[in-house]
Amino acid sequence: MSRIACFVERYNFSDPKEAMALQNFRRTAEKMGHTFNFLFREHLQEIPKYDAVFIRATTDPLYIAYVVSKEAWEMGLNVVDDPKSIQICGNKIHLYSLFKKYNVPHIPTIFLNKDEFHHKRIMEIFKTFGRPVVVKAPYTSFSRYVEKAACETSFREVAKRFFRRSDVLAVQEFMPTAFDWRVGVLNNEVLYVCKYMVPKGRWKHGAKRRGRPSFVWGRTVTLKRENAPAELKETALKACEVVGHGLYGVDIKEVNGNYVVVEVNDNPSIYAGNEDLRNRDVYEKIITYLVN
């Protein structure tokens, strides 16, 4: 019997599908003989009473969820997401560098330093990637600091804004697709496979703002993991291997039959009726991982 704390914030209960998924975690854990309590930020002093911490509140190296993760980790508890995964996934420069180093197929990316921010370099970038390009600040999530630029003027405008947040930006080839594959991975195994559809006229599958009711633009289409393309699953596992052994959601684009990784997310969203639709054992597998 293990005592599991699930670290949440109020907003985790504002979307009924997310609230239901959280209840499914609780029910599953209890059915398996464990205790499962929701832990809010007011009660962090209770962490030492637990054996495992499952973080569902938004993780970011600057948020309280990171403190929870770090504290639990240092006390030797099982923790998802672990602090290292939060740090890597929270920094796109770090993440893409690992993809480059370990040959994980990913969207063609270059890093742009503040001191290379001049006409000649911008022209080179357009020559390499074509137009538009996608510019990203390293610490983005929910698509907040991900924008397109098709000419030097707009590139300068976006980059100038993003350089206020970081000394280095990621610039990528623009690879629009009708959907992003989302592969849920736990401990080097595929948990679930979905398509996050990109709404007509948009190019990002969705956005959700911290502290707000979840706000998703696109539909989710779920496949049985057994029926998903083998190469897709291999690519997702390869991408997670360079990050860690926890729980991840890998975003992958399929372009002319090739799979290229957009990013690995820690703390992937799990909404009842979406990610769990074709593989109902998602809850059980995560609880089992937490208590082992």
Ligand X SMILES: Nc1ncnc2c1ncn2[C@@H]1O[C@H](COP(=O)(O)OP(=O)(O)O)[C@@H](O)[C@H]1O
Q: Which residue is listed with tokens 């709404």? A: 199
Which tokens in the block code for residue 216? 């998703």
Residue 40 Cβ, how far from ligand X at the closest point, in Å?
26
H or E segment at 288? Answer: helix 282-291
* Burial of 133 from C-beta contacts in 10 A (0-12 / 13-18 / 19+): buried
- Which of these segments, 78-86, 96-104, 173-181, 236-244, binds ligand X (CB under 6 A)? 173-181
Position 16 contacts ligand X (CB under 6 A)? no
Residue 175 Cβ, how far from ligand X at the closest point, in Å?
4
Which tokens in the block code for residue 57? 């509140």
Position 137 contacts ligand X (CB under 6 A)? no
User: Roughly what angle, to the nearest 10 degrees, separates helices 119-129 and 152-163?
Assistant: 110
Position 266 contacts ligand X (CB under 6 A)? no
| Residue whose C-alpha is closest to residue 32's, from 54, 7, 72, 4 | 4
- Which of these segments, 25-33, 39-47, 116-124, 168-176, binds ligand X (CB under 6 A)? 168-176
Which tokens in the block code for residue 288? 């089992």
Comparing CB distances to ligand X, the nearer of 34 and 136 is: 136
2, 12, 166, 172: residue in contact with ligand X (rule CB under 6 A): 172
Residue 39 Cβ, how far from ligand X at the closest point, in Å?
26
15, 251, 266, 275: residue in contact with ligand X (rule CB under 6 A): 251
Comparing CB distances to ligand X, the nearer of 250 and 287 is: 250
| Residue whose C-alpha is closest to residue 129's, from 176, 172, 97 | 172
Q: Which residue is listed with tokens 């007011």? A: 42
118: Cβ–Cβ under 8 A, 6 or more apart, which residues? none
Amino acid at 28: T
Comparing CB distances to ligand X, the nearer of 140 and 214 is: 140
- Which of these segments, 23-31, 45-53, 56-64, 136-144, binds ligand X (CB under 6 A)? 136-144
- Which of these segments, 31-39, 140-148, 151-159, 186-194, binds ligand X (CB under 6 A)? 140-148
Rounded Cα distance between 52 and 50, Å, is: 6
52, 80, 146, 159: residue in contact with ligand X (rule CB under 6 A): 146
Residues in the site for ligand X, rule: CB under 6 A?
107, 134, 136, 140-144, 146, 172-176, 180, 203-205, 251, 262-263
